[in-house]
Amino acid sequence: MSDQAGTGWSPTLAGPAPRPPRIVAKADLLPAFSAASLISLAGLFVGWVWAQLAPPQRVRVVTRDGAQAPLTAESWHRFDGLAIFVLLGLVTGVLVGVVVWLLRARRGPVMVVGAVLGSLLGAWLAMRMGLAFAQARVAAIESPELGAVVERAPVLESAWVLLAQPLTTAFAYGTLAAWNARDDLGRRLG
């Protein structure tokens, strides 16, 4: 066999081209589960923040058995509580997506699935605990008198708000992955 251009290199003597390192999904399962657990615990804090920010609705007692009717413009607070929860979910989702992306050694599909599932569980915990914290913050009057104005704890009337955080997490992570030009996502395996 002859050298190419006198360099001493021959295709048969060089051996096969080095293969890129393989990503083993099994090795990423425990870190993804750990990340999902930690992300879901952040839902407790988000629920507490929502309970502090969501405004209670003032209502007037209109019958002797305790039936209530909202005061003028107070029913808008139902939307306010919903909007605050969605905005908190969006902010939390972006933060989770960026922080999980910064875990360079574990970048990949297993970690993003763990982050999205953790975000969904965290949003559910935020909703449940937020409602409980709001109920504890707004003291209920046992037997209000007729015509009295009382406060009702904020509520979340739609379960669709749970999707804000996981969708934003997936969007933030996906945007960072698309922005990255490396085949291995900068993971630096091997």
Three-state SS annotation for the chain: CCCCCCCCCCHHHHCCCCCCCCCCHHHHHHHHHHHHHHHHHHHHHHHHHHHHHCCCEEEEECCCCCCEEECCCCCHHHHHHHHHHHHHHHHHHHHHHHHHHCCHHHCCHHHHHHHHHHHHHHHHHHHHHHHHHHHHHCCCCCCCCCCCEEEECCCCCCHHHHHHHHHHHHHHHHHHHHHCCCCCCCCCCC
Amino acid at 115: A
Residue 145 falls inside a structural domain: yes
Higher pLDDT, 52 or 69: 52
Structure tokens given for 14: 């060089």
How far apart are alpha carbons 151 and 144 in whole angstroms? 11
Total count of domains within the chain: 1
- pLDDT tens track for 21-64: 565 678 889 999 999 999 999 999 999 999 999 999 877 766 66
Residue 116 falls inside a structural domain: yes
pLDDT band at 77 (very low <50, low <70, confident <90, very high): confident
pLDDT over 80 at 149, yes or no: no
Higher pLDDT, 28 or 4: 28
- pLDDT tens track for 118-138: 999 999 999 999 999 999 998
Residue 184 falls inside a structural domain: no
- Cα-flanking dihedrals φ and ψ of residue 62, to 5°? -110, -15
Domain that holds residue 60: 25-178
pLDDT computed for residue 59 by the predictor: 76
Residue 150 falls inside a structural domain: yes
Residue 13 falls inside a structural domain: no
pLDDT computed for residue 9 by the predictor: 54
Find the mean pLDDT for residues 78-95: 96
Residue 141 falls inside a structural domain: yes
Residue 183 falls inside a structural domain: no
The total number of residues shown for the chain amounts to: 190
pLDDT computed for residue 24 by the predictor: 67
- pLDDT tens track for 98-123: 999 999 888 889 999 999 999 999 99
Higher pLDDT, 3 or 136: 136
pLDDT over 90 at 162, yes or no: yes
pLDDT computed for residue 189 by the predictor: 56
- Annotate 90-121 with b (16+ C-beta within 10 A) or e (fewer): bebbbbbbebbbeeeebbbebbbbbbbbbbbb
Residue 70 falls inside a structural domain: yes
- With contact defined as beta carbons under 8 Å apart, do 127 and 161 qualify? yes
Please report where in the chains the tokens 């405004």 appear, as a residue: 55
